């Protein structure tokens, strides 16, 4: 080790790189969850328990011990309605001998530095010393009366106040003085919090159900007490229970079949998750370490031959090689743990959100880290066994004479590689089919779900293990990959011919390079593709309510705070000046942030949709769009599939239900539940603003010609939008659901009888086309010509503003102050998947290049004598650079293409398995990032070694002892 210092350092680094990644992952996992003592400190401070009045008293009330929230649960699924005369229990009455500290957490609107916004409001006595830990870092004074408050340091900046200044609360108009700062263990670094005495801001008393109470005293609250307290509708989070959890047999909820999230199933799932990671973590470690030790053994071959000629037996030769692997592995493992821990110290505070509950502090799992460090030594010893076995059978005479083995690649290696690859593929596909079978069996209720879910993690591991076997198959047949490279490239010139022949002749030297690239690119492609797939699935599942960066202000918001009115005339009076208000909204929005476009949009709006103060029919006959029954959700009574769906429900034929609801015609069927009596009336230019500036030529042409546009195909049939006239206020009746009043009772018709839809008084059809938009609240757009022809009244109702960029906190605060009635703003999906995927691709490329460079560096150390011989016979630098660069390009090219291909296959298989329960396609290929990895790494590696070729080559005579 000491004599071959560079070689030893490279081997240590080869092992340290993946070990560091594993150590960082373990520290991250351990540091982002509080232990029992921290959970007590951050949740309860120094108190004994926290009690919440969650439900009305009843016999079917239970709680999970560590959660402390009581809820109704019956294992047969039957709901037990509490007696109507019951009242919520005051939590302070269920235990005696304690002092009580109140706490209420809600949201309040305050004036901020840039306008107004919602802020977390904590009322009670959070500054009490008994709550130290849950609340901490008190600076200044605690409020002495209802005119004083405290805030956290983040709120000082957002509110633009200092201690001694006042904060204004919008709802009450109160201006309260800030007398100090206090931090909350549950608040993130971006959360603003205000602390006040009970009721000082909200006005609610301690008997309100929103309050919970902390028990201060010396007597612990036992689990046996909590079981009885739960029946009174009170949930309890107890210090004693958190520190000394009850056995599962003592928890009534678990005896009813509720799964213990911290029990054996959790341990089993965590174990299986760990096992699933084994192929992704240990495979590159084993491959890289094995390649490095094989290199070391080849470098020691002549030394071992000399030792053998002097009388050393096979046992001593094996010991020398294994001891070398053991020590280098141990040093690599320890170095990897140190690097991983140092990275965690720097990165974890930046990666977490600042909440003590989410990141209680740096937790070093010493036992696991010790095992990770020792794993380097264990893997080093294991992977050095093969080189050790080879070394013990060294042919002394041939080795000392420098005779090399035959360069011929054996057929059996190719056959063995194909068989191994096929076996791995069969394992992965078989496990994937098993997941599909189990999920279908769960849907069809032919298997116990608990039993199935306990098997699925093992099948996921089998998918990953099968992919690792495929990598091993490629390693076995790597010699034939080199022959393929020679077949493809030998005609490109002398340098290419020489380079490919050298790869085959010295394939034991270069196989390690292919192995390192295969293993690391396999892991990298798996991680990259799985992240991208799940992130894009989340993006696809995100359902925006408008175009991205679009503000919609509805003039109906003017009436939200005014209460319901009894007559249409009173409503018209309220909204008479809405056109001026909408113009003012656009002007105000332009002053807050740059905009791309804006417009006042006209609409036909039914007053019955805005207030409950009007009876059905108060506005007379109103137009409604008749939805296509074949596109209504099957559970809607107006659906063409309603009776069929109800029969499936009765027969518990869940498979048939799932098949029915997944037909393409029913996609986004719930979007049809928006009010069908609201119509946008827009010109093509106004319609473009509604789409956020996008141009839809077909839709604009339809509006220009006097037609209509809809945002869901279920609103038209054969290119026609069918409009029917009924009494106002019957939107839900069009879907087969009787209209209900604010008391929850069905509304009556004008004759005093339960309302029935009946036949429409008038029917008309308008030519219409479908356009794509996120805004399904206003999904029907008429041209002004069509509205006038049909006699549909309309006027200014909406202000639409399309901002140039996403709004920040200060801008939304300014909007909230300008539009206190409310508005709709769509920020869009907030995770920049592409950017994060590029960052992951960069990290993958770095790891692959680092391990590849080390492996190639080891190979170049071994080939120094060959390179010096090549230079001594007159080969110019350009030729030698082409050889070295070409070999790096070939080796890394094959490795990244095949390794990334299997990694993408593994990600596809895992996401396909997950899609069985997610109900949608998950797999998404990061095309640009994958091409960058697959093509960029070989090009960079080739360029590095092409540029790194020395200008001159000094001849080195081969020595009998290296």
Per the listing, tokens 């705070």 go with 561
Tokens of 79: 């709901």
User: Is the separation of the CB atoms in 785 and 707 below 8 Å?
Assistant: no
User: Is the separation of the CB atoms in 600 and 583 below 8 Å?
Assistant: yes
Could you give the CA distance from residue 463 to residue 431 in angstroms, rounded to a whole number?
A: 6
| Residue 353 confidence (pLDDT) | 75
Residues 410, 413, 416, 420, Cα dihedral to 10°: -160
Neighbours of 405 (CB within 10 A): 9
DSSP string, 705-766: TT-EEESSGGG-BTTEEEEEEEETT-GGGGGT---B-TTSSBPB-TTSSBP-----SEEEEE
Per the listing, tokens 């609107």 go with 109
Could you give the CA distance from residue 155 to residue 149 in angstroms, rounded to a whole number?
A: 12
For residue 393, the SS3 value is coil
| Residue 424 confidence (pLDDT) | 92
Could you give the CA distance from residue 111 to residue 747 in angstroms, rounded to a whole number?
A: 41
For residue 163, the SS3 value is coil
Could you give the CA distance from residue 825 to residue 552 in angstroms, rounded to a whole number?
A: 6
Beta bridge partners of 212: 52, 103
Where does residue 869 rank: exposed (0-12), middle (13-18), buried (19+ CB within 10 A)?
Answer: middle
Name the nearest CA neighbour of 227 among 219, 235, 239.
Answer: 235
Could you give the CA distance from residue 954 to residue 962 in angstroms, rounded to a whole number?
A: 17
Per the listing, tokens 């393409």 go with 664
DSSP string, 503-570: HHHTHHHHHHHHHHHHHHHHHHHHHHHHHHHHHHHHHHH---SSSTTEEEEEGGGGGGGG---S-HHH
For residue 689, the SS3 value is helix
Evaluated on CA atoms 646, 649, 651, 655, the torsion sign reads positive
Low-confidence ranges of the chain (pLDDT < 50): 263-273, 275-276, 403, 561-562, 958-962
Tokens of 312: 């050393």
Provide CB contacts within 8 A for 75, sequence distance 6+.
256, 257
DSSP string, 424-481: HHHHHHHHHHHHHHHHHHHHTT-S-HHHHHHHHHHHHHHHHHHHHHHHHHHHHTHHHH
| Residue 22 confidence (pLDDT) | 79
Could you give the CA distance from residue 222 to residue 960 in angstroms, rounded to a whole number?
A: 78
Neighbours of 954 (CB within 10 A): 10
Neighbours of 563 (CB within 10 A): 8
pLDDT in tens, 519-563: 888 888 988 998 899 888 888 878 788 899 999 999 887 765 445
Beta bridge partners of 215: 49, 100
| Residue 268 confidence (pLDDT) | 43
| Residue 868 confidence (pLDDT) | 67
Could you give the CA distance from residue 804 to residue 82 in angstroms, rounded to a whole number?
A: 53
Strand 780-782 and strand 679-681: pairing? parallel
Identify the H or E element spanning 102.
strand 99-111
| Residue 179 confidence (pLDDT) | 96
Enter the pTM of the model.
0.69
For 656-717, list the strands marked E by DSSP. 679-681, 708-710
Provide CB contacts within 8 A for 6, sequence distance 6+.
861
User: Is the separation of the CB atoms in 516 and 288 below 8 Å?
Assistant: yes
Could you give the CA distance from residue 902 to residue 465 in angstroms, rounded to a whole number?
A: 12
Could you give the CA distance from residue 293 to residue 515 in angstroms, rounded to a whole number?
A: 13
Could you give the CA distance from residue 688 to residue 677 in angstroms, rounded to a whole number?
A: 22
Could you give the CA distance from residue 701 to residue 432 in angstroms, rounded to a whole number?
A: 49
Could you give the CA distance from residue 173 to residue 166 in angstroms, rounded to a whole number?
A: 12
Could you give the CA distance from residue 244 to residue 65 in angstroms, rounded to a whole number?
A: 10
Could you give the CA distance from residue 861 to residue 882 in angstroms, rounded to a whole number?
A: 18
- SS3 breakdown of the chain: % helix, strand, coil, rounded to 5? 55, 15, 35
Ramachandran angles phi, psi of 102, nearest 5°: -80, 155
Where does residue 346 rank: exposed (0-12), middle (13-18), buried (19+ CB within 10 A)?
Answer: exposed
| Residue 587 confidence (pLDDT) | 93
Could you give the CA distance from residue 426 to residue 432 in angstroms, rounded to a whole number?
A: 10
For residue 281, the SS3 value is helix
Provide CB contacts within 8 A for 81, sequence distance 6+.
none
Name the nearest CA neighbour of 420 among 475, 360, 372.
Answer: 475
Per the listing, tokens 């949009």 go with 601
| Residue 750 confidence (pLDDT) | 58
Could you give the CA distance from residue 184 to residue 191 in angstroms, rounded to a whole number?
A: 10
Could you give the CA distance from residue 634 to residue 440 in angstroms, rounded to a whole number?
A: 21
Measured in whole angstroms, how far is the alpha carbon of residue 528 from the centre of its chain?
Answer: 13
Name the nearest CA neighbour of 584 among 810, 303, 895, 799.
Answer: 799
For residue 239, the SS3 value is helix
Evaluated on CA atoms 352, 353, 357, 358, the torsion sign reads negative
Strand 795-803 and strand 595-604: pairing? antiparallel
Tokens of 912: 């396909």
Tokens of 935: 């093509």
Residue length, the chain?
962
| Residue 777 confidence (pLDDT) | 79
Tokens of 340: 């991983």
User: Is the separation of the CB atoms in 120 and 107 below 8 Å?
Assistant: yes
Could you give the CA distance from residue 110 to residue 805 in angstroms, rounded to a whole number?
A: 25
Where does residue 755 rank: exposed (0-12), middle (13-18), buried (19+ CB within 10 A)?
Answer: buried
């Amino acid at each position: 080790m000491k004599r071959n210092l560079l070689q030893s350092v490279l081997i240590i680094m080869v092992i340290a790189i993946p070990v560091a990644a594993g150590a960082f992952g373990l520290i991250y996992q351990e540091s982002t969850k509080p232990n029992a003592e921290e959970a007590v400190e951050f949740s309860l401070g120094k108190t004994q328990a926290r009690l919440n009045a969650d439900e009305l008293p009843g016999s079917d009330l239970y709680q999970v011990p560590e959660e402390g929230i009581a809820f109704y649960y019956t294992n047969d699924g039957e709901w037990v309605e509490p007696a109507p005369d019951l009242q919520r229990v005051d939590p302070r009455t269920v235990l005696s001998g304690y002092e009580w500290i109140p706490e209420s957490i809600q949201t309040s609107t305050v004036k901020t530095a840039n306008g107004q916004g919602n802020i977390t409001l904590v009322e009670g006595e959070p500054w009490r010393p008994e709550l130290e830990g849950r609340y901490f870092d008190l600076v200044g004074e605690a409020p002495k009366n209802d005119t004083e408050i405290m805030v956290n340091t983040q709120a000082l900046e957002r509110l633009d106040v200092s201690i001694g200044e006042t904060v204004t609360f919008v709802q009450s108009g109160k201006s309260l003085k800030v007398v100090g700062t206090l931090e909350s263990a549950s608040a993130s670094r971006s959360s603003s919090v205000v602390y006040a005495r009970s009721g000082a801001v909200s006005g609610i008393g301690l008997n309100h159900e929103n309050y919970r109470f902390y028990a201060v005293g010396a007597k612990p609250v036992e689990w046996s007490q909590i079981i009885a307290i739960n029946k009174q509708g009170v949930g309890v989070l107890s210090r004693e229970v958190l520190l000394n959890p009850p056995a599962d047999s003592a928890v009534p909820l678990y005896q009813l079949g509720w799964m213990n999230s911290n029990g054996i199933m959790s341990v089993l799932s965590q174990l299986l998750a760990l096992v699933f990671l084994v192929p992704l973590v240990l495979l590159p470690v084993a491959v890289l370490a094995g390649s490095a030790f094989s290199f070391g053994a080849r470098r020691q071959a002549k030394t071992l031959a000399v030792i053998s000629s002097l009388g050393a037996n096979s046992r001593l030769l094996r010991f020398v090689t294994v001891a070398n692997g053991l020590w280098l592995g141990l040093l690599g493992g320890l170095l990897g743990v140190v690097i991983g821990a140092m990275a965690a110290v720097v990165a974890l505070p930046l990666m977490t959100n600042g909440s003590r509950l989410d990141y209680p502090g740096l937790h070093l799992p010493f036992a696991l880290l010790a095992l990770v460090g020792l794993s380097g030594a264990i893997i080093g010893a294991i992977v050095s066994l093969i080189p050790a076995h080879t070394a013990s059978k060294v042919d002394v005479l041939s080795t000392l004479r420098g005779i090399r083995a035959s360069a011929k690649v054996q057929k059996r290696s190719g056959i063995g590689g194909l068989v191994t690859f096929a076996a791995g593929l069969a394992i992965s596909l078989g496990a994937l089919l098993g997941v599909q079978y189990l999920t279908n069996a769960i849907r069809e209720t032919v298997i116990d779900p608990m039993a199935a879910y306990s098997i699925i993690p093992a099948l996921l591991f089998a998918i990953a293990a099968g992919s690792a076997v495929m990598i091993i198959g490629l390693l076995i047949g790597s010699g034939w990959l080199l022959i393929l490279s020679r077949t493809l490239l030998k005609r490109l010139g002398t340098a290419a011919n020489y380079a490919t022949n050298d790869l085959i002749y010295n394939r034991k030297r270069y196989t390690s390079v292919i192995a390192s690239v295969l293993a690391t690119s396999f892991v990298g492609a798996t991680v990259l593709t799985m992240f991208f797939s799940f992130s894009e699935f989340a993006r696809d599942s995100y359902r925006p309510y408008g175009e991205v960066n679009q503000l919609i202000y509805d003039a109906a918001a003017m009436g939200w705070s005014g209460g319901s009115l009894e007559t249409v005339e009173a409503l018209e009076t309220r909204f008479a000046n809405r056109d001026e208000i909408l113009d003012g909204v656009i002007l105000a929005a332009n002053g807050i942030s740059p905009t791309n476009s804006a417009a006042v949009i006209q609409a036909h709006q039914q007053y019955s949709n805005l207030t409950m103060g009007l009876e059905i029919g108060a506005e007379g006959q109103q137009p409604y769009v008749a939805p296509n029954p074949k596109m209504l959700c099957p559970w809607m009574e107006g659906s063409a599939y309603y009776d069929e769906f109800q029969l499936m429900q009765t027969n518990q034929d869940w498979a048939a239900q799932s098949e029915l609801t997944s037909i393409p015609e029913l996609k986004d069927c719930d979007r049809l539940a928006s009010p069908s009596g609201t119509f946008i009336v827009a010109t093509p230019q106004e319609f473009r603003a509604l789409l956020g500036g996008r141009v839809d030529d077909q839709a604009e042409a339809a509006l220009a010609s006097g037609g209509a546009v809809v945002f869901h195909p279920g609103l038209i049939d054969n290119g026609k939008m069918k409009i029917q006239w009924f009494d106002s206020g019957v939107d839900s009746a069009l879907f087969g659901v009787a209209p209900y009043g604010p008391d929850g009772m069905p509304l009556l018709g004008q004759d005093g009888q339960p309302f029935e839809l009946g036949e429409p008084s008038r029917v008309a059809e308008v030519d219409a086309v479908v356009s794509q938009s996120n805004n399904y609240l206003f999904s029907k757009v008429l041209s002004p010509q069509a509205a006038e022809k049909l006699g549909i009244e309309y006027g200014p109702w909406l202000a639409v503003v399309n901002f140039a960029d996403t709004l920040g906190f200060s801008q939304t605060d300014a909007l909230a102050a300008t539009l206190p009635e409310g508005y709709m703003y769509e920020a869009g999906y907030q995770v920049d998947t592409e950017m994060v995927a590029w960052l992951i691709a960069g990290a993958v490329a770095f790891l692959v290049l680092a391990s590849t460079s080390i492996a190639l560096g080891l190979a170049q150390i071994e080939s120094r004598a060959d390179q010096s011989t090549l230079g001594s016979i007159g080969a110019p630098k350009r030729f030698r650079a082409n050889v070295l660069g070409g070999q790096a390009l070939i080796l890394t090219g094959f490795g990244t293409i095949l390794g990334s291909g299997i990694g993408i296959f593994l990600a596809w298989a895992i996401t396909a398995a997950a899609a069985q329960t997610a109900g949608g396609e998950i797999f998404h290929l990061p095309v640009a990032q994958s091409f960058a990895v697959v093509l960029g790494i070989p090009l960079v590696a080739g360029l590095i070694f092409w540029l790194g070729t020395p200008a001159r080559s000094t001849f080195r005579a081969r020595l009998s002892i290296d």
